Amino acid sequence: MGSPARAGCSDSRNVEILHRKLHKQFKTTNYTDSTNKKEINSCHWGNSPFIFIKILSSPDRSGCRKLHKLQVITCVNQFNVLRNSLILCVCLLLLSTAAEAQSDTIKYEVGFTGVGSTGAYAPFWLQSANYGQISASPNSANVNVGFSKDFNNRSAVFDYGFKADLLLQSYDNKTKAYFHEAYMKARLSVLDLIVGAREEHLGTQDSSLSCGGFLFSKNARPMPKITLGIERFTPVPFTKGYLEVKGAVAHGWFTDNIAVTNLLLHHKYIYFRVGGSLPFHFQYGVDHVAQWGGSSPGIGQQPTSLSDYLRIVMGSSGGSSALETDQINALGNHIISQSMKVEYRISDFSISGYWQNISEDSPKFMTNTMNKPDGLWGISIRNNTFPIIKGLVYEYLNSTDQSGPFHDRDGIVYGGADSYFQNGVYQNGWTYFSRTIGTPFLSSPVYNKNGGVAVVNSRVQVHHIGLEGEVQGYQYKALCSFSKNYGTYGAPYPEMIRNTSLLLEVNKQFPKLSNIELGCSVGADIGKLYGNSVGCMVSVRKRGNLFSR
Q: Output the pTM of the full model.
A: 0.80
In this prediction, residue 39 carries a pLDDT of: 44
Q: How far apart are the C-alpha atoms of 309 and 322, rounded to whole Å? A: 12
The number of beta carbons lying within 10 Å of the beta carbon of residue 511 is 8
DSSP 132: T
In this prediction, residue 14 carries a pLDDT of: 54
Q: Which domains does the chain have, with CATH numbers?
A: 10-73 (no CATH), 78-545 (2.40.160.130)
Query: What are the angstrom distances between the C-alpha of 439 and each of 13, 255, 269, 461?
Result: 59, 20, 18, 12
The number of beta carbons lying within 10 Å of the beta carbon of residue 409 is 11
Series of mean pLDDT values for 10-residue runs along the chain (549 residues): 46 53 47 41 37 48 51 40 47 44 76 96 96 96 94 84 95 94 95 97 95 97 97 95 97 95 97 96 97 94 95 93 90 95 94 94 80 95 93 97 67 65 93 97 95 94 98 96 96 96 97 92 97 97 82
Helix (H, G, I), strand (E, B) or coil at 23: helix
In this prediction, residue 118 carries a pLDDT of: 96
The number of beta carbons lying within 10 Å of the beta carbon of residue 473 is 11
> What residues are paired with 470 via a beta bridge?
475
Helix (H, G, I), strand (E, B) or coil at 366: coil
> What residues are paired with 358 via a beta bridge?
337
> What residues are paired with 43 via a beta bridge?
none
In this prediction, residue 3 carries a pLDDT of: 43
In this prediction, residue 105 carries a pLDDT of: 84
Rg of the chain over Cα atoms, rounded to whole angstroms, equals 26
CB 219 within 8 A of CB 440: yes
Helix ranges (DSSP H) in 100-241:
124-127
Q: How far apart are the C-alpha atoms of 254 and 276, rounded to whole Å? A: 38
Question: What is the pairing mode between strands 158-171 and 140-149?
Answer: antiparallel
DSSP 302: P
DSSP 48: B
